[in-house]
Amino acid sequence: MSERLTLISGRTRKQATGMHKGKDSPEYHAATEIVEMNADDMARLGIADGGRATLRTEVGEIALTAHEGALPAGLVFVPMGTTVNGLVGTETFGTGMPSFKGLSVEVEPAGGEPAGGEGEGS
């Protein structure tokens, strides 16, 4: 089962401190490869807290560890960074600014791979 939800990306403290360690560091991966979701959305889609979710747009597809967050239904949050930018297109509507927020994404439970020792993000 998959649904179209709205993605926003943004700064988190762990993303910032992970960035200082390097974008190939375990801290950065742990901080940026997570998605926060509304609990009801997760239950309806069959995504467990700490489980894996696939996010997809016409640009690309990423798999992230899902966590319940204080988000309204229909909204998902992913920390800014290399991973989430795999979903963002280059349309800027004449401004230079891509849609890093307000992006329509298809969300579904990920097929297999567990998070794999990269720790918890927030």
Q: Which residues bind other proteins (CB under 8 A)?
A: 6, 8, 10-13, 16-17, 19-24, 59-60, 69-72, 74-75, 77, 80-82, 85-86, 88-90, 92-102
CB of 34 to other proteins, least distance (A): 14
Q: Which two tokens stand for residue 29?
A: 């991966």
Give me Rg for the CA atoms of the chain.
Answer: 14
Nearer to other proteins (CB atom), residue 94 or residue 111: 94
CB of 84 to other proteins, least distance (A): 10
CB neighbour class for 113 (10 Å; exposed up to 12, middle 13-18, buried from 19): exposed
